[in-house]
Amino acid sequence: MAFVNESDSSDWEDVPLVALKRKAPDVKQPPRKRSAEVAPVSKATAKGERVSSARARTSAVPVSSKRKRIASSGSSSSPASSSSPSSAESKSENSAPPSSGSDCDAKDSSQSDVGSDSESESAAGAAVNGRKKQKTRHGATPARVHKERHRARHVHRFGDEDDHYDADNGSQEIKWQSLVHKGVCFPPPYEPHRKPLLYKGERCMLEPEAEEIATFYATKIGTTHVQNEKFNENFFDDFRACLVSIKSQYASRIKKFVLCDFSIIRAHLDSIRAKQKEKTPAERKAEREADADRLREYTVAQVDGRMEKVGNFRVEPPGLFLGRGDHPLTGKVKKRIMPEDITINVGRTDPVPPCPVPGHRWGQIVHNQTATWLASWKDSITGGMKYVFLGASSTFKGQSDQAKYEKARTLEKHVGAIRKAYTKGMRSSELCLKQLSVASYLIDKLALRMGNEKGEDEADTVGCCSLRVEHLRFLKENRIELDFLGKDSIRYLNVVVVDPLVYETLESFCSGKKPGDSVFDAIHSTKLNKHFQKFMPGLSAKVFRTYNASRTLDNLLHMSTPEAMTTDAMVEFYNKANKEVAILCNHQKSQSVSFNDQLERLVERKADLVKQLKQLERRETLDGDHVIVVAHEHVKPLFTPEMNMKEREEEKERVSKLDKQRVEKKVAIKLIESTVERTKQRIEKIDLQIRMKSDLKNVALGTSKLNYNDPRITVAWCKKHSLPIEKVFSSSLLQKFSWAMSTSEDFRF
C-alpha cells in the first residue's frame, strides 16, 4: 500500500488525508422538556419538611413508590444536574453557530474549551460483568423464578427491535420515564494486618488509617512508580498528613521518606499472593461464581421497563493515584469513596436503591431524566466527575455512537467550504484569523487534538492550540517536524510536507519567540471552537478526527479488491488499513516484554514446518506405506486437575528449560499431497503472524476501532467480501456496535 507525501497548494481540499502524514519512527422519551429535579439529602424545605433524606437511609425495607418526593425548585443549581454529560454534550455538540463577526473580536466569558476534544475511552470500553439472569427474592415460587430468569436473559441491546437513530441525542430532551437500578458496589472495608513499618530500623505499629496508606505503597514496590521522585514525594506528603490528622504517636518521628522501610508489609502481601496461587482451579472457580452471584443485581437496570446491562458499577477502591504519563499528582492518596459522596439518579416514582453500607446513606437522590448516568461522584484527586453509565450495548450508548458517526459523515458536506475558508484566511492581514486558519488546517490534515491550557496540577500534554515554538522544527522542502507529548503523555513525532503558505505562515508565528512561547498566541481552544460553529453546528476537533479516521479507513479498504485473498490475508489487509488510521491519530503502545520471545517462537515454528515440508516432498524416509517425518517440538507441561496455580507455574517453568524433543510422525503415502498442502498453509499463516506482529508492535489498533472508525464501514466491507465479522471485531465490539450489524454491503462513509 503506497501513500504519497505530497501537497498541492492550489487545491488542498483534494489532498488525501494520509498524503500529508508520514509515519513517525517506531515509536442514544418524547420531546417534552423538563428540568432535572434534585432532592438533596438532609435539606429542609420552607415548610420544614425533610427532602428525600428518608429515602436514602440504609433500611432494607423496600421504599414505597407512593412516598412523597419533594424536589428543590432550583434544580438548575444542582451540581449533579448541571454537570451531567448530556448537558455538556448539548452545549458543545448541538450549539448554534455564533453570530456573524470576527471570532477574534469576541470576548469569551470562559476560557474553558466548550467543545474540546476530551475523550472518555475508558468509559466506552468498560467491561460488562456478571451473568444475564436476575437475582430472585428469597421465597419466590418456581414459576416466578423462571419468569424472572427468562426476562433477565433478554437484556435489551440497541438495534434489537424498533430502536432508531435519534438525531437530537445529547440534547436536553427527556431520555426516559422510569429508571430502576441497584446503585453501586463498594469495595470491602480495610482490614488491618498489623504488620509494622520500619523507620530507622525500628518497628512502628501504625494506626489502621496510616497502615492502609503504607500498604498502598508496599503494593507498588518492584514497579517503576517507586523510582519516580515525584511519586514518592506526593505519597509521603499525604502519608505524613494522615499521621498528623489522626494524631498518630509517630507523627513527630516519621519525617523522612528515605528512612522508611516497607519490606515487612511487602512480605506479608507476597505471602497472601502465594496462598492465593495455592488454590486449585475448582476453588478459584467457586470463588468467581460466588462473586458473580453477589454482584449480579448490580449488572442490570430497567429503563422504561426494558432490561439493560450496566457498565462499570463498582466504586473504585482507595489507593495511590498513578495518572497517565508524567502526571504531577502521581503518588497522591485516593480517598475511600463513601455513600455520602454518591449521587443516585432514579425515576421520580421508582424505588431508591438501598445503601449497601450499614450506617450510611446516599449523598443525593436526583431524578434527572435528561441524563443517562445512574450514579456519580467527584474524583478526590482531579476533582472531575465519575459516572456510572449503562453498558456499551445499551440503547443510550448505541444512539450516542450512531449520532457521533452521523455527525462526522455530515462534515463531508461542509469540509470543502471549510478548507477554502482557511486557505483564504491564511492570507489575511489579521493575525487572529491567520492563526485560526492554520490551526484549522493542522486539525483537519493531521487529526491533531484541540489542546487546552494546562494547570500546574495537570500533565503538560499538548494539542494544536497549545503548541509551543519548541515543538516545531522547520526543515527543507516545506517539511515540518512536530515533536511533543500528546494525550496521556504519548509522544507525537511526525515529519510532514505542508503547503508553502502553511510553512511560511507557521514560521512567521514562531519568529522572534522563545522556545517556551506559544505558537498560537492570539487564539485559544474556545475561540477556535466558536470559529468551527460558523461552518457546522457541533463541529469540533474530535468530529474532524472521527471524520478523517473513518474516511481514511473507508478509502484504504476500497483501494484494491481482495477477492482472491485467503481469510488470513484479508485480516492482514484490514489491519494494515486500520494501522494507517492508528498512525494518523497517534495511537501508540509500548512494545510488550514478551514480544521477542513470541516472535522467536514463531520463527522457530516456521523453520520446523519448512523442514517437515521438505521431508514430505522428497519422501526421504519410507516405512512401508508411510513416510516418517522428523520434527523437534517443545515439551508440553503436564498439568493435572489437582494442581494449584503455583504448581502449574512451576511446571511451566520446568518445561521451558528443556530442549526440544525429537518426534517422529508417520504420514500415509496416499495422504502426502493433502498433508503437504496443509503444511504450506500453516507456513503461510505463520508468515502472516510474523509480519503482523512486527508491523503492529508499536501501534494500538483497538482505540481507532472503538472510538473513531465508523463500524458500518467494517461491517459493509466484511459482508462484501464474505469475511466473518468476528475476524476483525471482538465479542465486546460486536455487542457495542450491534446497531451497525444490519448495514448493507454497499455502505460507504
Give the closest residue to 392 by CA, choosing from 729, 738, 86, 713: 738
Lowest mean pLDDT segment, chosen from 69-78, 315-324, 419-428: 69-78
**Under DSSP, is residue 570 helix (H, G, I), strand (E, B) or coil?**
helix
Q: Which helix (H) or strand (E) holds 483?
A: strand 479-485
Between 627 and 709, name the one with better pLDDT: 709
Tell me the C-alpha to C-alpha distance, in Å, between residue 541 and each of 436, 509, 532. Answer: 13, 21, 9
The answer to the question of residue 682 being in a domain is: yes
pLDDT at residue 75 in the model: 38
What percent of the chain lies above the pLDDT cut of 90?
A: 41
Q: How many CB atoms lie within 10 A of CB 95?
A: 16
Last residue within a domain, chosen from 281, 316, 351: 281
User: Does residue 28 belong to any structural domain of this protein?
Assistant: no
Mean pLDDT of the chain: 75
469 has pLDDT over 80: yes
Residue 629: what pLDDT? 65
pLDDT of residue 622: 57
pLDDT for 283:
85
Q: Which residues contact 232 (CB under 8 A, 6 or more apart)?
A: 226, 257, 331
Q: How far apart are CA 462 and CA 176, in angstroms?
A: 39
Q: What b/e readout covers 465-495, taking b as 16+ CB neighbours within 10 angstroms?
A: bbbbbebbeeeeebebebebbbbeebebbbb
Tell me, yes or no, whether 590 lies in a domain.
Answer: no
Dist. CA 51–CA 70, nearest whole Å: 6
DSSP annotation string for 115-152: T-----HHHHTPPPPS-SSPPPPTT--HHHHHHHHHHH
Residue 220 scores a pLDDT above 60: yes
With respect to residue 242, please indicate whether it lies within any of the assigned structural domains.
Answer: yes
534 pLDDT higher than 60: yes
- CATH assignment of the domain containing 217: 1.10.10.41
- Other beta carbons within 10 angstroms of residue 21's beta carbon come to 23
pTM for the predicted model, two decimal places:
0.65
Q: Does residue 481 sit within a domain? A: no
In a domain, 268, yes or no: yes
User: What single-letter amino acid sits at 174?
Assistant: I
Catalytic site residue from 217, 298, 547, 708: 708
Residue where one domain finishes, among candidates 248, 264, 281: 281
Which one-letter amino acid corresponds to residue 397? K
Q: Tens digits of per-residue pLDDT, 433-468? A: 999 999 999 999 888 888 876 555 566 788 899 999
235, with CB counted inside 10 A (0-12, 13-18, 19+), is buried
Residue 79 near residue 368 (C-beta atoms within 8 A): no
Mark whether 250 is an active-site residue.
no
Q: Which of 43-47, 228-232, 398-402 has the lowest mean pLDDT?
A: 43-47
As given in the structure block, the three cell numbers for residue 314 are: 463498582
Last residue of one domain, picked from the residues 239, 263, 281: 281
pLDDT band with cut points at 50, 70 and 90 for residue 139: very low
C-alpha cell at 243: 499521621
Backbone φ and ψ of 458, nearest 5°: -125, 155
Q: What is the pLDDT of residue 43?
A: 38
**248-298 confidence digits (pLDDT tens):** 999 999 999 999 999 999 999 999 998 888 888 888 889 999 999 999 999
Mean pLDDT value across residues 90-97: 38
- Asked if residue 678 is part of any domain, the answer here is yes
Residue 514 near residue 424, CB atoms below 8 Å: no
List the domain range (segments joined by +) for residue 663.
Answer: 595-695
Residue 574 lies in a domain: no
Q: H-helix or E-strand containing 198? A: strand 197-199
Taking phi over 0 as left and psi of -120 to 50 as alpha, with beta for the rest, 171 belongs to: beta
Average pLDDT over residues 120-139: 37
117 pLDDT band, cuts 50/70/90, is very low
Q: How many distinct structural domains can be found in the chain?
A: 2
Q: End-to-end alpha-carbon separation of the chain, Å?
A: 20
